[in-house]
Amino acid sequence: MSVQSASIGQSVKLADLALDPYPTYKKLRAHEPVAFVPAANRYLVTRYNDIVTLERDPETFSADESGSLMKRVMGHNLLRKDGAAHKRERTAIEPSLRPGVIRQHWVPVFQSIVDQLIDDFIADGETDLFGSFAGPCAALSLRAMLGLDTATHQDLQTWSQAMMDGTGNYADDPAIWARSDAAAAGVDAAIDEMIPYHRKNPNPSLISSMLHAEDPLTREEIGANVKVIIGGGLNEPRDAILTAVVGLLANPDQKQQVVADNKLWRPVFEETVRWVAPIGMYPRQTTRAVELGGVMLPEGAKLGVVLGSGNRDESVFDNPDRFDINRAKKPHIAFGGGPHFCAGAWVARAQVGEIALPTLFHRIPDLAFAEKPVTWAGWVFRGPTSVPVKWNA
């Protein structure tokens, strides 16, 4: 198949993807699984098996994309590095993310944050969980993990959204660049304020780990990695919390199952991030001419690895558009794969699947949709933008 002669990819519009990408993904999987999309200026890879293939070959499908929007916004961070350079920076943050540290240090922090947030609105009988719960939960948890004690959770939410908008600014909107540049400057100022404390007081925070690593990261490296962590480390748990709530409230039988059996919260989390992958797409670039999905890609080809599509591939998942915690166990790809498998995956499982969701549903067992509609947005990063709910206060 010639990509140049293909019709679906040529006609894809970013506005349509942001509104609801799944009908387009379904067409691409069926007819053009590796399709050049001029609107995104890259080939979108939409089938599960092709995504797994490229993640197993990082030498051919490099994370270090030239002209990367992420590098433009955040600096050259570990997500846009390969090989030894990537491993060095990932190794520096790992002490903060080890299972024992998560269990002993971060889980109590997460629980305290979740309890306080619910305390603040439980008497009201209604709320929008985006603003009252999921957003501040993710931001407060991340502020603690990073060690950015002088920043507010509102700061982190503003910075995260602005920088994520920048990394997805394929339309080259100057207003988005202005906001993302201002956010990056705000993050840098907050880091500079906290570095002296963490240098003198080693602790489980990510900034401390980067400063006190066996091969400590430079100030520039710390800045770039804190920015990328604020992006994925905030949006991903926030959107996973909200998506899970929507999935369970829309399927009361599954909600009843979970509330009656705590062991099912793990399947809830895994099905949530499969159903709507919070990180819907990330870039790769070919280092040589290579065939993928029946398409011959030239050296230097820019790819969009569409996790949001791969996780709904009909050849892997039965009835993939349905939220179903009882589906047959098959590995999703919401956290990517290979050397770049999400370093925060176990943190997200603990924060969302073990603390935020069980606590919310057990403290408010009659949680239900309010009359206002749930709204969604995004394709590079996708999640609910409003989840109005009600209960008997």
Give the other-Cβ count within 10 Å of 162's Cβ.
22
SS3 state of residue 285: strand
CB 379 within 8 A of CB 280: yes
pLDDT of residue 167: 85
Amino acid at 106: W
CB 383 within 8 A of CB 376: yes
Measured CA angle at 156 (ends 155, 161), to 5 deg: 105
Report how far residue 290's alpha carbon sits from residue 78's, in angstroms, rounded to the nearest whole number: 25
Instruction: Show the low-confidence residues of the chain (pLDDT under 50).
Output: 1-5
pLDDT of residue 3: 42
CA nearest neighbour of 128 among 238, 19, 256: 238
pLDDT of residue 337: 86
Tokens of 254: 């599954």
pLDDT of residue 22: 98
Beta bridge partners of 126: 390
pLDDT of residue 173: 93
CB 380 within 8 A of CB 355: no
> pTM score, two decimals?
0.94
Tokens of 325: 């915690």
Report how far residue 296's alpha carbon sits from residue 45's, in angstroms, rounded to the nearest whole number: 13
Report how far residue 101's alpha carbon sits from residue 347's, in angstroms, rounded to the nearest whole number: 10
Report how far residue 333's alpha carbon sits from residue 305's, in angstroms, rounded to the nearest whole number: 11
CA nearest neighbour of 55 among 337, 282, 303, 283: 337
Fold of 69-301+321-390: Cytochrome p450 (1.10.630)
Tokens of 63: 């994370």
Contacts of 364 (CB under 8 A, 6+ apart): 118, 122, 391
Query: Tokens 């299972």 belong to which residue?
Result: 99
pLDDT of residue 171: 83
